[in-house]
Amino acid sequence: MTRLIGRIAPAYLMSAFYAIAFFVNGVLTPFFPVLLQVKGLSGEQIAFVLATPQVMRMFTMPVVSGLSDRAGDRRHVMAGVITLTLGFSILFGIANGDIAVMAVGSILLVLSYCVGPLADAFAMIMDRHGLGEYGKMRLWGSVSFILGNVVGGYAMDHSGSTAVYFLLLFGFAIAILATVAIPPAPPAVTQSSAAALTVLRKPAFLAVLLGHAVNQAGHAALYSFGTILWRGNGFSDFTIGIFWAIGVIAEIILFALAGRWFRAVSPLKLMAGGAAIGCLRWLLFSLDLPLLPTLALQVMHAGSFALAHIGLMRFLREVVPTERAASAQGTFVIFNGLAMALGTALAGRLVPTLGSDTYVVMAIFPLLGLIILTAAGGGARRLPAHDATRTVSVAAGEATAR
């Protein structure tokens, strides 16, 4: 098996890992809140389960990313994380009582959230060494995410929450097997540890990460309660799966065209554009629109999420040295975790009383993000470039955030 894998181009192997591992994200993101609801949790309790991992990642992701940067073989760290995620998924199925369900569910999400940043670090290192384009590799994760949305929606519609739970177990199990497909990381260019860490401590660098994280926190209500709100508006679970899939299809198209369309656009302008689109998107979401307009709003995911994340990945690639790639992802996760936890907790308080009007409040987040990014622009442009010889088309998906 190892000899056969060694004959396949690294870019194809990384694409295969994204495609296999991110199927489960496509099931988890829209339908895990429903599983929590079936377990008997209230709206505020669901918000707690979804928000707590965002805070916990402040502590877990730096540890995991640090282990990955120092590991002799980064793939072992990835396999360990996914194996633990599968273990807690099994525990979630047998957990009884609100406290047990909330604790196990929170840990499950913390572990699952580590996979995306670690995979992105692998792919960014490969891109930096000319072994494949980040966007073209990451694209297959988005395709698989769509498949998870549709299959999860179909399973929920026809077989209920139990079928969705077993889909999660299946997804994490095959993701463990898929870690053998990840190509070994090329050796990093030797730099002093202090020099490599310098940029991660720059106020301008941290401000850009904060601005992007605050912008992305506007997605909190959609990620946490979008499925529940759509259900309340009369949409079927299969239609809701299509809604999630349309958003990812839109981002895939943007990923494919980003290198051609945005090659000359600065990373900060891409992030700012995503924030502006996000502000408009959440204001329109509050109107409880029918089927076709809702599909159109989901297309805007290409702007509010993908465009902004393309800018972030280009920014990290340009200013962060190779041996700190995972650590940079970990630093971003800290900011993103704080912002998303705030957004999720706020949504959990507001959705039971405001319903879809909660999205009006969510529009404040991208507006604040736009202000922070604008203020950080001058300092960010003066950061030293570590790899300005090539321009890369980058993409992501949910992450990761999802």
- What's the CA gap between 167 and 174, in Å, rounded? 11
Cβ neighbours for 182, distance < 8 A, ≥ 6 positions apart: 13, 14, 17, 74, 75, 78, 122
d(CA 31, CA 37): 10
Report d(CA 89, CA 192) in Å as an integer.
Answer: 40
| Residue 202: closest CA among 31, 381, 23, 27 | 381
Question: Which of the four pLDDT bands, split at 50, 70 and 90, describes residue 191?
Answer: very low
- Separation of alpha carbons 77 and 144, rounded Å: 22
Confidence of residue 325 (pLDDT cuts 50, 70, 90): low
Structure tokens at 167: 């889909």
Token digits of residue 205 = 């660098």
87-119 pLDDT tens trace: 999 999 998 889 999 999 999 998 988 888 788
The letter for the amino acid at 70 is: R
CA distance linking residue 2 with residue 256, whole number of Å: 31
Could you tell me the sign of the dihedral formed by the alpha carbons of 374, 324, 253, 24, in that order? negative
Helix (H) or strand (E) holding 298: helix 291-299
Judged against a pLDDT cut of 60, whether residue 396 lies above it is answered with no
Query: Are 402 and 25 spatial neighbours (Cβ–Cβ below 8 Å)?
Result: yes
Q: Are the C-beta atoms of 65 and 327 separated by less than 8 Å?
A: yes
Looking up tokens 């098996």, which residue turns up? 1
Q: How far apart are CA 305 and CA 248, in angstroms?
A: 10
Say what the pLDDT of residue 200 is: 60
In the numeric block, which tokens belong to residue 41? 């949790």
User: How far lies 51's CA from each of 55, 96, 98, 341, in Å?
Assistant: 7, 21, 16, 4
Q: Report, in this order, helix, strand and coil percent for the chain, each rounded to 5.
A: 80, 0, 20
Domains of the chain (ranges; CATH) run 2-381 (1.20.1250.20)
Lowest mean pLDDT among 236-245, 262-271, 354-363, 389-398: 389-398
Structure tokens of 244? 């999630």
Cβ atoms of residues 314 and 270 within 8 Å: yes
DSSP annotation of 401 reads T
pLDDT at 393 over 50: no
Confidence check: pLDDT of 398 > 80: no
Would you say 119 and 78 are in contact if contact means Cβ atoms under 8 Å apart?
Answer: yes
In the chain, what is the greatest distance between 2 CA atoms, to the nearest angstrom? 58
Residue of 240 and 5 predicted with greater confidence: 240
369/334: higher pLDDT = 369
Q: How far is CA 137 from CA 161, 240, 318, in A?
A: 32, 27, 19
CB 216 within 8 A of CB 308: yes
Q: Which 8-state DSSP code applies to residue 305?
A: I
How confident is the model at residue 390, as a pLDDT?
41
Q: Which residue has the tokens 């962060």?
A: 320
CA distances from 234 to 17, 62, 240 (A): 36, 41, 10
